[in-house]
Amino acid sequence: MKFYKPIVLLLFCFFILWSGCQKIEDIVDQNNFTNIELYSIIRNSYTSIVATRKDASAEISLSYFDPEYFYKERNYTIYPDYYEVYLSGNTPDNWELIKTIDTSYINKSFTISGLKNGELYYIYLRDISSLYETRNSNVAVFIPSADKPSYDLILKDFYGQDIYAFDINIYNNKIVYATKRYQYQPGHSAASIFLSDSGNEPQLVDIGCWFPSFSFDGEKVSYSSDKGEMADETLRPEHIAVYDVNTKTSTKITSGYSVNRYPAWAPTGYLLAYSSSEKGYKDFRINVFNTATSTNRILHTEESLNQELVSFSQEHPAWSPDGNYIYYTRKTYDSSTNTGYLDIYRIRSIGGMPEPVFNTKGSECNPAISPDNSKLAFLANYNGSLQIWIYNFLYDEFYQPFDTNDFDFSDIWSLIRWKDNNTILFTACTETDAALFSISVE
């Protein structure tokens, strides 16, 4: 599934011998970003596909939804006559018609066999109809694999409630997490944050809060809270608070009529990045708060938007381990009603112009950087639905630690954190609940 280039390995070994204890972030050049190659296929169909990798094969799930269907007469025919299935290997330039299927496969799936494990494939469906011109589905990207990943369940169904946002301190292995609801007194419940210590009873941090983040030394937990705030027709203020693990006290560091979310501590231990908006639940901008001086600055306020985009939002900031960059989800809107287009950007922690990390037609969000600064874990819909992908800066490659229909991921609540350089923790929804899992990504 990973493609290791011999010359790169030889050079890397040479650098390690030459540099002694030189850190990998000094060796890996993150300035050369890459992409899953751009394809020319433009989606203009109501047909959607999701590709789930299998051993030397892929399962393609097909769905169709016409938003005009509910306004049509009962005998309105919404389906095409049939579909043509196109596949391209390694690059999206060698499209080959591999089969045709009828519309009985809508809301079902079919299998493509005879593929090579470890190779990148692109697939899309073409609607063929006598009533309208040919239309294209989305393009799905997948990598067949014989690997059958094994998951470890870390936390589930805490006090009868789902687990959503979380963070882990990689030095003491403590986990802090938010539950959907917690009954803190009879007849009263709220989303709440708990501090977990292996073998001990979880410690309540606060109620009416979410999106916790550990400080570098594990002595503080920051989070977003609407506790005690009043809502109006536009928003309910949410503010960033810092909890001291030793004194068990919390202090708010933001105030006023604004929504402040997604706090993230810098490796330095005293800088705290977060997303802030005075316009509601969109148009977030990354701020950096200095806990040593109690000063705050907006990291960036303007971007070059094309004419079709009306606004953008900067969410889920994540520091690089060397503290030089902040990666984040950039959500852009071309109207006031769409849910936003998702891309991963980065900006220097001292400020500057943001730059895209990838150049694809897919959606990417919720970045997390490995402790050695060599890998980026994130959510992407390359295969047709949000799944976890890894980009390796050192080997200049994408790969999937898994691809399964067992989990549903959200660009808001599903978070990824590195436990070490080869293990990630993530939150996801299953058929029964939302829980915290871990998996090896070696």
Verify that 129 and 161 share a domain, yes or no: no
Across 133-157, average pLDDT: 86
205 belongs to a structural domain: yes
CATH number of the domain enclosing 160: 2.120.10.30
Rounded CA gap, 144 and 125, in Å? 19
**Residue 179, H or E segment:** strand 175-185
CB atoms within 10 A of CB 359: 12
37 belongs to a structural domain: no
At position 133, the amino acid (one-letter code) is E
Across 214-225, average pLDDT: 94
CA distance readout (Å), 201 to 6, 47, 198: 49, 49, 8
Q: What do you get for the CA distance between the two ends of the chain, in Å?
A: 10
Across 207-213, average pLDDT: 94
Q: Is the CB of residue 123 less than 8 Å from the CB of residue 139?
A: yes
**Number of domains present in the structure of the chain:** 2
Name the H helices within 20-167: 24-27
Closest by CA to 376, choosing from 427, 326, 330, is 326
Which of 142, 166, 197 is a domain's end point? 142
For 410, the token pair is: 């959200």
Please, which residues have CB within 8 angstroms of residue 381's CB and are 6 or more apart in sequence?
A: 362, 363, 387
Verify that 125 and 223 share a domain, yes or no: no
- pLDDT reported for residue 26: 39
Is pLDDT at 408 greater than 50 in this prediction?
yes
- pLDDT reported for residue 30: 47
Closest by CA to 58, choosing from 102, 110, 120, is 110
Rounded CA gap, 236 and 225, in Å? 10
Rounded CA gap, 200 and 432, in Å? 26
- pLDDT reported for residue 201: 78
Verify that 324 and 425 share a domain, yes or no: yes
Is pLDDT at 3 greater than 60 in this prediction?
no
**pLDDT higher at 299 or 365:** 365
Across 3-16, average pLDDT: 37
36 belongs to a structural domain: no
- pTM of this structure: 0.85
Rounded percentage of the chain residues whose pLDDT exceeds 90: 50
**Residue 6, H or E segment:** helix 6-19
Q: Would you place residue 236 in the very low, low, confident or very high pLDDT band (cuts 50, 70, 90)? A: very high
Verify that 238 and 355 share a domain, yes or no: yes
Q: Would you place residue 4 in the very low, low, confident or very high pLDDT band (cuts 50, 70, 90)? A: very low
- pLDDT reported for residue 394: 87
Please, which residues have CB within 8 angstroms of residue 182's CB and are 6 or more apart in sequence?
A: 159, 161, 189, 190, 191, 192, 194, 204, 207
Verify that 252 and 394 share a domain, yes or no: yes
Cα angle vertex 365, ends 359, 370, to 5°?
95
For 346, the token pair is: 């980065």
Full residue range of the structural domain in which residue 84 is found: 47-142
Across 97-118, average pLDDT: 95
CATH number of the domain enclosing 116: 2.60.40.10
